Copies of this chain bind each other. A is one copy, B any other.
Amino acid sequence: MRARRLLAPPGTGEYLTAPMDTRTDTPRDAEERPDPLRIERLCIERGLKMTGQRRLIARVLSEAIDHPDVEELYRRALALDARVSIATVYRTVRLLEEKGILERHDFGGGRARYEATDHGHHYHLIDIDTGKVIEFSDVQHEALAKAIAERLGFTLIGHRLELFGRRPADAEAAPRRGPRRRGGEPA
């Protein structure tokens, strides 16, 4: 009786974020977020009580350049300090999400995945063969989304654009068998 765990199994070289950009906006690369206290500072700003566990989780989040799920965050935190429980990780990501410090994503696979919101609005392209997530931004789309919402009589509060693509079969390591995904997507 087993079913979940569909995208790249969390644990190792999984869903790495490839540095990318499509247009006029900011590019991202692995070296972009070196400050391990970034998230902690944000927490303090919002008046959160900083305990050892929170500081630890905040640091893990600050150093993440990918989109880890709770289990992965827990694993990374444990590696730094064993005095954390997964319940606390769950409570903390929920709290940080409510505070607007984290963004929750559902890329399929049955588990929520998180990333800090402090590096600008951007979108995701998911490689359906490998599960890798590539970030990009696009001002044109940004404007279009706003325009559409207004045309429908709404004020745009947020939006989500996800592209599911496949690298033309040739370059790069052989595409691993297409994993079954969960969560609304390709059409």
A residues lining the B interface (CB < 8 Å) = 20, 22-23, 98, 103-106, 112-113, 117, 121, 125, 127-128, 134, 136, 138, 140-141, 144-145, 148-149, 151-168, 180, 182-187
- Of the A-B pairs whose beta carbons lie under 8 Å apart in the complex, a sample of 27, sorted by A's number, is A22-B148, A98-B180, A103-B187, A104-B182, A104-B184, A105-B183, A106-B184, A112-B183, A113-B184, A121-B187, A125-B148, A128-B157, A134-B152, A136-B152, A138-B148, A140-B144, A141-B141, A141-B144, A141-B148, A145-B161, A152-B165, A154-B163, A154-B165, A155-B166, A158-B185, A159-B163, A160-B164
CB distance from A39 to the nearest CB of B (A): 16
Given contacts A104-B183, A160-B164, 4 further A-B contacts (CB under 8 A): A106-B106, A125-B149, A136-B148, A156-B165
